[in-house]
Structure 1
Amino acid sequence: MRIQKTLNHGNTRWRVTISLHGKRRQRFFTSRDEARAWLNSIEADSTGFWSNRTPEEQRDIVSAFNLASKREVSIYQCMLNSPAKLNPLSITDAVGRYAKVIKQRSLRHSSLKQIQLHLSQLAGQFANQLCHKVSSSQLEEWFHTRNWKRSTIDGVLAKIGPFFSWCIRENYCENNPCRAVKRPRSDDSPPAIFTPSEAQKLLLTAFKTDPGMIPYLAIGLFAGVRPLEIQRLQQQDFTDQYIEITAAKAKTRKRRLVSLSNNLKGWLRLGGDLPPINKPKRLSSILQKAGLEWKPDIMRHSYASYHLGFHQSADKTALEMGHRDTQMLFRHYRELVTKEEAQAYWTIEP
């Protein structure tokens, strides 16, 4: 780099000659001070970034810097917080497009139907409203008007959350409103379970009136297998010691082995239908004859409560149930039943 006094078109000028990124560059200035100032800026800008920007680009950068300084953030953060150019699309149209996308995924039929149900409810509520206009507070109001409990809201958010994430990817909205939804407090009431005498009455009623339902009921009560998982079981999934829930049949798509208790082995030896046909109607008939009330997941809740009460090991119970950890057990099942009740439950035999 050098500064040299010279004549340029008959005028005295100061010429700066430099090598930048392997290329020779020259600039002329009317004074030595101007030449030195420019050369100093080049030396400070070792990458040549600033000197390679056009005057318009330089003005934009300065404006961005001033705006970021006003907001007390970095230029990068200011850029991230700036709204992107969106492709406006109504919820109804977006749901229609997303429905085609998820049909191409390897989802179980039951999962696909559940997603489609909640997306249909979403489209029915917000219809022609643009995707990027749906806010977290609007979702909260929707849940409130539907009078949904916390567990239902959790399920709905789990299904429509990926939809809004897809909308972000497709540039229909900037943020996922599901992430900021304030959920109501969980229902602190304990989960519904059968007492040992009720569980026995249920099985004995089935044995007398519809013995084909015995495997379904016994596996739910004494192995804690989810109802939809029981529906997928076949005889080859049973050994002398375990029920194998393969990844293809498990809700979580993770294989697990569930131990066969002695009383469960006794009930399974009676035979029956696996999977049961026309289950809802048959189960309703058994409950009516037994004089019992059915609640969602009551068999699995009963299993968890009595297994934990009997074995006194949250880790063991969580492993058998296919839970990732023991948090749910401690939150819902700890000290729900006594040791004596648990012992009575596990001695229910044919």
Structure 2
Amino acid sequence: MDVSLPICQIPTKSWWGSLDAMGAGNTARRKVGVFLNWCLQQGFIAEAVKIPGKPSYPKGDIEILSNKDVSSLIKSCPSDLLGHIWLCLCLGLRVAEAMKVEHLSVKGGYLIVGANAAKTKSRRVLDLPEHHGHYASLIRPQVNLKKRMLSLRDESGITNWPRNVMRHTAASHWLNRLQSAEAAALHLGNSPVMLHRHYKALVTKDESEEFFGIWDQHVKTAK
């Protein structure tokens, strides 16, 4: 960044580049954002400068649920919570995305994640596995989700529940199912590089076939 320039002449990319070069964390970025908002209010700059947050990536080895855990979770899950579990554990939506049910819709064999629900703020279209309309019909707004999830985990006998484990589990199996990091990235709303780095060969093709078979079998027994 050229510090000799008046603040109103420093382009947005210069702010971004300087923060990246410093290795600034989220706290520093928030403070810069507060300062720039103050500059905007005072008329020192004409337009708001958006400071992007520091990218967050999984640290260490990715942990996922076993197919035995998945089966136990589905069997123990109340019907009014199963739609949420399906969105996160089978399709791989982020919990925050799955909570915004008013911005989710099913049309012609696709689940559409609206821009107001998607973390990336871009509409996302997901192919639904065959016969999964049953799960879509169970999607409900959730109340006391954290408490209910704790109860469900206890009832399922699952003792290890790492952060984002449902999305990690789904991502590993969708990468196998689609056999393309680019296609899986469109499905999950991530970058192909990140998916390949963290999820490639995390599970076998046989394990992925079993994973989707568990969901299919539950639909058959539920009817």
TM over 0.5: yes
Match of 1:328 in 2: 194
Match of 1:287 in 2: 153
Residue pairs, 1:169-208, within 5 angstroms? 187=59, 189-206=60-77
CA 1:192/1:267 → structure 2, altered by over 3 Å: closer, same or farther? Answer: same
CA 1:198/1:155 → structure 2, altered by over 3 Å: closer, same or farther? Answer: farther
Match of 1:4 in 2: none
1:248 and 2:116 matched: yes
Cα deviation for residue 263 of structure 1 reads: 5.9
How well do the aligned residues superpose, as a CA RMSD in angstroms?
3.5
Give the structure-2-normalised TM-score: 0.72
The structure with more radius of gyration: 1
What is the letter of the counterpart of residue 303 of structure 1? A
Cα deviation for residue 262 of structure 1 reads: 2.5
- Counterpart contact for 1:224–1:304, Cα < 8 Å: yes
What is the letter of the counterpart of residue 34 of structure 2? F
Relative contact order, higher structure (CA 8 A, sep 6+) = 2
Cα deviation for residue 275 of structure 1 reads: 1.4
Match of 2:86 in 1: 218
What do residues 121-148 of structure 1 show as CA deviations (whole Å, max 9, x unaligned)?
A: xxxxxxxxxxxxxxx9xx99xxxxxxxx
What is the letter of the counterpart of residue 205 of structure 1? S
CA distance in structure 2 between the partners assigned to 1:296 and 1:198 by the alignment: 16
Alignment gaps of 5+ in structure 1 = 1-76, 86-135, 141-152, 172-177
Give the structure-1-normalised TM-score: 0.47
Alignment gaps of 5+ in structure 2 = 8-18, 45-50, 219-223
SS at structure 2 position matched to 1:191: coil
SS at structure 2 position matched to 1:343: helix
CA distance in structure 1 between the partners assigned to 2:174 and 2:212 by the alignment: 8
What do residues 242-266 of structure 1 show as CA deviations (whole Å, max 9, x unaligned)?
A: 1111112222211111111136434
Cα deviation for residue 236 of structure 1 reads: 6.8
Residue pairs, 1:117-136, within 5 angstroms? none
Aligned length: 192
Runs of 4+ with >2 A deviation: 80-85, 153-171, 262-269
What is the letter of the counterpart of residue 229 of structure 1? E
SS at structure 1 position matched to 2:133: helix
Match of 1:113 in 2: none
Match of 2:125 in 1: 257
SS at structure 2 position matched to 1:287: helix
Cα deviation for residue 295 of structure 1 reads: 2.2
Out of 191, 204, 207, the position equivalent to 1:341 is 207
CA 1:294/1:161 → structure 2, altered by over 3 Å: closer, same or farther? Answer: farther
CA distance in structure 2 between the partners assigned to 1:283 and 1:186 by the alignment: 22
Identity among equivalent pairs (%): 24
What is the letter of the counterpart of residue 62 of structure 2? P
Cα deviation for residue 223 of structure 1 reads: 1.2
SS at structure 1 position matched to 2:118: coil
CA distance in structure 2 between the partners assigned to 1:192 and 1:232 by the alignment: 26
What do residues 262-289 of structure 1 show as CA deviations (whole Å, max 9, x unaligned)?
A: 36434345x3x51122211111111111
